[in-house]
Amino acid sequence: MGAPTPAPPASAGAGARSGALEAVYLSPGADIDGFRAAARRLAGRGVPPERVLWSVGEAPGLFGMEPPAPADDAPLNLPRGVAAIVARVVLHSDPERYALLYDLIWRVLQGERRLLEVSSDPLVHRLERMAKAIARDLHKMHAFLRFRRVEGSDPERFVAWFEPDHHILGAAAPFFVGRFRSLHWTILTPEASASWDGDTLTFGPPGRREDAPAQDGFEAGWRDYYESTFNPARTNLAAMRAEMPKKYWRNMPETAAIPGLVRQAAARTGAMIEREPQMPVKRNPARAVAAMADQAPDSLDALNAIIKRSEPLVPGATQAVLGEGPLGASIAFVGEQPGDQEDHQGRPFVGPAGQLLSRAMEEAGLVRADAYLTNAVKHFKFEERGKRRIHQKPTASEVSHYRWWLDRELDFVAPKLVVALGATAVLALTGKQIPITRARGPADFEKPYAGFITVHPSYLLRLPDEAKAQAYADFVADLRRVHELGLSLAA
């Protein structure tokens, strides 16, 4: 438990007198800003949890008390985990959430700095369960919300109805912005609504189920797809209801097919067992490649339009980052994937590693504007740590997913020399895992252009200070060789 509460000064006001209650009035829903301001004010004045009455959406004057006057209080010195669980539990529908959270904050400020590590503590246990309930509610909204097209809308608009258990709309909406960035849509809930117009996310008043379309023309095709992928041999009603509670079924077009699929499951499973095994049909890869060629883009602009429309292989990226530079550039540089700054700006090599590359190119006699710069992977893969987005190395399968795009891109640019910056670029260009230290220098990519392998500039940024100078000098020396080789190939 925390240390004894110090007696408040006499000038603190009626709310801080021994035995008097402090009334705090917060807005309905998840009033995180109001709660933080109130917690700073109360803790700064030494008001313990038992002397605070938390009210939501109620007018001042209840029980003859007046709300405390606003104050410009300094932020509280709290561990990062406490701030994180506050932001999550505020979304819960439990009316006691604010009192529980202030109790947590008070105990931490009174000396229990590692309180959240004590899972057996009743307060911590309850808050962790509430945080998990929010995570489940967010998952269900992400998985079970279905948009339906509004007939006759111009521009085309999609509307969805959803009934979350908690106040999660504000926390869930950015997920749908990232997933459906090019669409205009509205999510209606009994508490509030969220709308995206392709540029701005706004929140508005509650909606009604009847304000959302009951169905649209796409749903028949979606039900056909769901029925075709349903595996009768793995039917498990208990698991299905646990993962997809019936309260969400009314909003999901595929659930209309479930009763019939369940009734037919036993017969279909028996038929699958009785059916004689068949050898897989051999497909003709030459015909498949020819069919793909007929549908291939006929220009770099057409290819880039396809890349921009495609969903990221790993969700979260703001946009596809396309290559940059002139068609016919004699030298092309291929990196790994966009970073945080590239993802925000939509241009390759503009972050710290890109700035280092530009400086090294200039020292080596290369003009960046004359070269073509691109990445093996076109979307930013990252892990969120607090407010930072930390780069994650793409897997071999992710590199393979983007490889066709890269090959077509370089076909259109038609460089004489392609420089692979790092192991991921080498994998994308050759399909092989090749150590950079062994292959550094001119290389044969078995392509219509010459190859050169060197390190990625981000590698230099990660080196200890005592090794950076020599590594940078070696990198500039590589780029001088690239410059000389490019001149000889262009002659």
Give me the tens of pLDDT residue by residue for the chain, a chain 491 residues long: 334 333 333 333 334 445 688 899 999 999 999 999 999 999 999 999 999 999 987 555 444 444 444 545 678 889 989 999 999 999 999 999 999 999 999 999 999 999 999 989 999 999 999 999 999 999 989 988 888 888 888 888 999 999 999 999 999 999 999 988 888 999 999 999 999 998 999 999 999 988 888 766 555 555 565 556 666 655 665 665 566 666 665 666 655 556 666 666 666 666 666 665 665 666 666 665 555 555 668 899 999 998 888 877 766 788 999 999 999 999 999 999 999 999 999 999 999 999 999 999 999 999 999 999 999 999 998 888 887 888 888 888 888 888 989 999 999 999 999 999 999 999 999 988 888 988 999 999 989 999 999 999 999 999 998 999 999 999 999 999 999 999 999 87
Q: What is the pTM of this model?
A: 0.48
Beta strands 193-196 and 201-204 are antiparallel
Helices 122-144 and 97-109 pack at an angle, to 10 degrees, of 130
Two tokens, residue 357: 């590359």
Distances (CA, A) of 341 to 308, 348, 353, 414: 18, 9, 10, 28
Two tokens, residue 202: 């706004």
Distance of CA 348 to the CA centre of its chain: 20
Two tokens, residue 111: 């000396």
Q: For residue 298, what are the β-bridge partners?
A: none
Cα 325 to Cα 368: distance, rounded to the nearest angstrom: 8
- Torsion region of 111: left, alpha or beta (phi above 0 gives left; psi -120 to 50 gives alpha): left
CATH topology of domain 299-490: Uracil-DNA Glycosylase, subunit E (3.40.470)
Structural domain spans, the chain: 10-135, 145-227+252-261, 299-490
How many C-beta atoms surround the C-beta of residue 17 within 10 A? Answer: 12
Give the chain's radius of gyration (CA, Å).
Answer: 30
Count helices and strands in the chain by DSSP H and E runs: 17, 14
Contact between 173 and 10 under an 8 Å Cβ cutoff? The reply is: no
Cα 2 to Cα 286: distance, rounded to the nearest angstrom: 74
